[in-house]
Amino acid sequence: MKVAIVGATGLVGSVMRRVLEERNFPVTTFIPVASPRSVGKEIEFNNQKYTITGMEDAIEMKPDIAIFSAGGSTSREWAPKFAAAGTTVIDNSSAWRMDADKKLVVPEINASLLTTEDKIIANPNCSTIQMVLALLPIHRDYGIERLVISTYQSVTGTGVAAVKQLEDERKGITGEKVYPHPIDKNCLPHGGSFEANGYTSEEMKLVNETRKILGDPSINITATVVRVPVIGGHSEAVNIETRQAFELKDIIKGLEATPGIIVEDDPINNIYPMPLNAHERDEVFVGRIRRDISRPNALDMWIVSDNLRKGAATNAVQIAEYLVEHSLVGQHTVQSR
């Protein structure tokens, strides 16, 4: 099993390497790929040193799987070239998510849609992944009519430079800024770029990706994305209006039975999800589950997850695990390529 990570030296790429190691993914040949300035340098994986290669050389090595975390423009240029060589690409950028011909996959929800013909598979946005996993049992059992989402997103979602900006500000150091304002001791209602409708690109990802993953374009969704001075993960306050009546205890039972979900909902004893506790974890944590007192058939939830793990690296590796488990990649598929 030849596995390439494109963007292996980046923040998410580094976590991808660690997740592959932790989950004992069956890598026989590891191919780290990065920008030209990193080619030739060494990187460690499973206690071995590997030399970073460039795109063309990586394609020539014909990896079975290439996990991309190198930005949308890189993915749009290179993912089709890897796919044409027979590699199955799992892409973490926004490049292919809303492409009608590409699957947008959270394995616990819709991995069963994947076939050997899917050579470019989209990994959803980090804030979408954790939310739809928590929404899955609710939509399945009661149908979702409307979502009102407010996110509190970690600076890690913006990358290494954002983390450094936060750390510099806390130390009183003047350095490079990736946000238009200070982030320490501040909240920025600004995720991504602003669009013509007044929403940001991050907010519209929540709208469009949720509908695609849950397979229901009729869900009414509005979102506000806020960047906060936090490292450990993304938090979301989600108001859910269902199409059918529900009992709150049944909602909680459905969440508890969902793989990948941990319910932390004992507010009297100060137990509820927090990014501090979600950091370096693969699960999605759900709490503050309560009926909305202002509307019938509505409830509120607080959803937290490490955006670099389940929100990016872990979800991508879980897709790869599904492909291997169901014989959708590997030597057994060579003849069909």
Residue 90: CATH number of its domain? 3.40.50.720
Which tens digits make up the pLDDT trace of 120-167?
999 999 999 999 999 999 999 999 999 999 999 999 999 999 999 999
| 161 shares its domain with 261 | yes
Residue 208 burial (C-beta neighbours within 10 Å; 0-12, 13-18, 19+): middle
Contact 284, 130 (CB under 8 A): yes
| 275 shares its domain with 171 | yes
Q: If pLDDT is split at 50, 70 and 90, which confidence band does 330 have?
A: confident
Average pLDDT over every residue of 229-234: 96
From the list 279, 145, 149, the residue with the least C-alpha distance to 204 is 149
CB count within 10 Å of CB 169 equals 19
| 132 shares its domain with 281 | yes
Task: Classify residue 270: in a domain, yes or no.
Answer: yes
| 292 shares its domain with 319 | no
Largest CA distance in the chain: 61
Task: Classify residue 39: in a domain, yes or no.
Answer: yes
Which tens digits make up the pLDDT trace of 299-325?
999 999 999 999 999 999 999 999 999
Which tens digits make up the pLDDT trace of 41-63?
999 999 999 999 999 999 999 99
Give pLDDT, residue 58.
97
Task: Classify residue 56: in a domain, yes or no.
Answer: yes
3-state secondary structure of 281: coil
Average pLDDT over every residue of 221-227: 98
| Residue 333 predicted with pLDDT over 80 | no
| 80 shares its domain with 162 | no
Count of domains for the chain:
2
Task: Classify residue 117: in a domain, yes or no.
Answer: no
| 43 shares its domain with 175 | no
| Residue 332 predicted with pLDDT over 50 | no
Structure tokens at 119: 């050579």
Task: Classify residue 181: in a domain, yes or no.
Answer: yes
| 157 shares its domain with 197 | yes
Give pLDDT, residue 331.
55
- Average pLDDT over all residues of the chain: 96
The sign of the torsion formed by the CA atoms of 205, 149, 136, 158 equals: positive
| 212 shares its domain with 246 | yes
Query: How far is 56 from 82, CA to CA, in rounded Å?
Result: 9
Q: Compute φ and ψ for 12, nearest 5 degrees.
A: -70, -40
| 277 shares its domain with 323 | no
Domain range enclosing 41: 2-95+312-336
| Residue 335 predicted with pLDDT over 60 | no
Give pLDDT, residue 237.
98
Task: Classify residue 104: in a domain, yes or no.
Answer: no
| 293 shares its domain with 152 | yes
Structure tokens at 204: 């519209």
Give pLDDT, residue 268.
98
Residues recognised as catalytic: 126, 234
| 320 shares its domain with 280 | no
DSSP 331: G
CB count within 10 Å of CB 108 equals 18
Question: DSSP characters for 64-103?
Answer: SEEEE-S-HHHHHHHHHHHHHTTPEEEE-SSSSTT-TTS-
Tell me, what CATH number does 147's domain have?
A: 3.30.360.10
Task: Classify residue 138: in a domain, yes or no.
Answer: yes
| 216 shares its domain with 238 | yes
Task: Classify residue 275: in a domain, yes or no.
Answer: yes
Sheet architecture: strand order including 234-242: 220-227, 144-153, 234-242, 298-305, 284-291, 261-263
C-alpha to C-alpha distances, 156 to 82, 151, 310, nearest whole angstrom: 28, 14, 13
